[in-house]
């Protein structure tokens, strides 16, 4: 029991209750919930409907009990059916194959799901936490969720601030149900790092903020091509002169929207810059 002057705080079930010296309860409230740091969690899929998952190219380990026990899932083999509302976690220590221009593999799903946690658990196993530099991991997560029925990736953590070539290329391409994208905090980009990352994600309305000041060869090439519902982009580059860095990146997005740019940015209008017909705002931060 906690005393606060004449007010006492007691626990009633899962709630707290405050009451005064007359013992009259006058307020119920729940304690503040701790926000999850998804960068510290294994790659996790929350099933929105009953379905299975499989992974191409490599075997991985999976857990359906919150990481208490792990089992092996062979390449191109269906997981157990994950019922709606339940989660499955993944880990491995896989090396991408840049010489073959391919990543570690791709997931396939039979049902809709939300993606959360840190997919670096497929690269570094149990040692994925606090990785912020993908140097040397070219094609790391290339095509990882391509064409799946993922609905939300807002809690998918991609914490690296320094990227590698093609590391997220095609990652969500063709995910037509994707409505919420992950944050993209990287400030040091690499060739093709976001190439075609969200192509044809036709349910996506808001792009993740793009904070990098200097663009590199083909870094945003085709990034939002075919995102027909996309109507908000905040991109803060001041140096956007690298070869094909913005080529077709906003081809076939919504006809109207809002584009927020750095005050020192000089971008052309059209599919290789700021979408024609959009309102342009200058960032104040």
Domain contains 108: no
pLDDT tens profile 23-59: 554 454 444 556 899 999 999 999 999 999 999 989 9
Q: Please tell me the predicted confidence (pLDDT) of residue 34.
A: 67
The one-character DSSP state at 196 is T
Averaged pLDDT for residues 221-243? 98
Q: How many Å apart are CA 237 and CA 214, to the nearest integer? A: 6
Looking at residues 137-153, what average pLDDT do you find?
97
**CA distances in angstroms from 282 to 80, 215, 262, listed in the order given:** 49, 19, 6
User: Picking from 5-9, 163-167, 251-255, 272-276, which range would have the lowest pLDDT averaged per residue?
Assistant: 5-9
22 belongs to a structural domain: yes
With 0-12 CB in 10 A as exposed, 13-18 as middle and 19+ as buried, what is 263?
exposed
Using CA atoms, how far apart are residues 202 and 205, in angstroms rounded to an integer? 8
Position 22 scores a pLDDT of 52
Q: Considering only CA atoms, which of 179, 178, 184 is closest in space to residue 211?
A: 184
DSSP H helices, 111-226, are 121-124
From CA 121, how far away is CA 90, in angstroms rounded?
7
CB distance 122 to 145 below 8 Å? no
- Decide the pairing of beta strands 258-261 and 279-282: parallel
What is the CB neighbour count within 10 angstroms for residue 255? 11
Can you give the pLDDT at residue 242? Answer: 98
Question: In whole numbers, what is the pLDDT of the chain averaged over residues?
Answer: 91
Question: What's the pLDDT at 89?
Answer: 98
- Rounded Cα distance, 208 and 206, in Å: 7
Is 194 a domain residue? no
What residues make up the domain containing 24? 1-33
Report yes or no on 1 lying in a domain.
yes
The reported pTM is 0.87
Distance between alpha carbon 18 and the CA centroid of its chain, in Å?
40
How many degrees, rounded to 5, is the angle at CA 215 between CA 256 and CA 217? 105
pLDDT at 269: 97
Residue 149 makes CB contacts below 8 A (sequence gap 6+) with 109, 111, 112, 113, 175, 177
Residue 235 pLDDT: 98
CB 267 within 8 A of CB 239: no
Q: How far is CA 106 from the centre of its chain?
A: 15
What Å distances lie between residue 32 and 4, 5, 16, 40, 117, CA to CA? 18, 22, 11, 20, 22
Average pLDDT estimate for 236-242: 97
Give the tens place of pLDDT for each residue, 81-133: 999 999 999 999 999 976 666 789 999 999 999 999 999 999 999 999 999 99
Assigned domain for 263 exists: no
- What's the total number of domains in the chain? 1
């Amino acid at each position: 029991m906690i005393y606060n002057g004449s007010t006492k705080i007691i626990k009633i079930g899962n709630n707290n209750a405050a009451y005064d010296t007359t013992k009259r309860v006058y307020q119920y409230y729940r304690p503040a919930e701790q926000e999850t740091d998804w960068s510290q969690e294994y790659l996790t899929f929350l099933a929105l409907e009953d379905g299975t998952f499989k992974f191409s190219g490599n075997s991985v380990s999976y857990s359906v009990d919150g990481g208490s026990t792990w089992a092996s899932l062979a390449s191109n083999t269906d997981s157990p059916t994950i019922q709606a509302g339940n989660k499955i976690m993944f880990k491995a220590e896989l090396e991408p194959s840049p010489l073959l221009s391919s990543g570690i593999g791709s997931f396939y799903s039979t049902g809709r799901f939300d993606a959360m946690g840190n997919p670096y658990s497929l690269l570094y196993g149990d040692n994925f936490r606090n990785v912020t530099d993908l140097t040397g991991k070219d094609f790391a997560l290339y095509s990882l969720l391509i064409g799946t029925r993922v609905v939300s990736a807002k809690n998918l953590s991609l914490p690296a601030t320094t990227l590698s070539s093609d590391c997220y290329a095609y990652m969500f391409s063709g995910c037509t149900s994707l409505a919420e994208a992950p944050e993209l905090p990287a400030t040091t980009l690499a060739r093709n790092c976001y190439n075609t990352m969200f192509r044809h994600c036709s349910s996506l309305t808001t792009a993740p903020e793009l904070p990098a000041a200097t663009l590199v060869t083909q870094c945003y090439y085709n990034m939002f091509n075919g995102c027909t519902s996309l109507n908000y982009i905040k991109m803060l580059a001041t140096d956007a002169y690298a070869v094909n860095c913005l080529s077709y990146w906003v081809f076939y997005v919504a006809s109207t929207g809002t584009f927020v740019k750095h005050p020192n940015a000089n971008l052309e209008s059209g599919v290789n810059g700021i979408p024609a017909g959009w309102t342009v705002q200058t960032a104040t931060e």
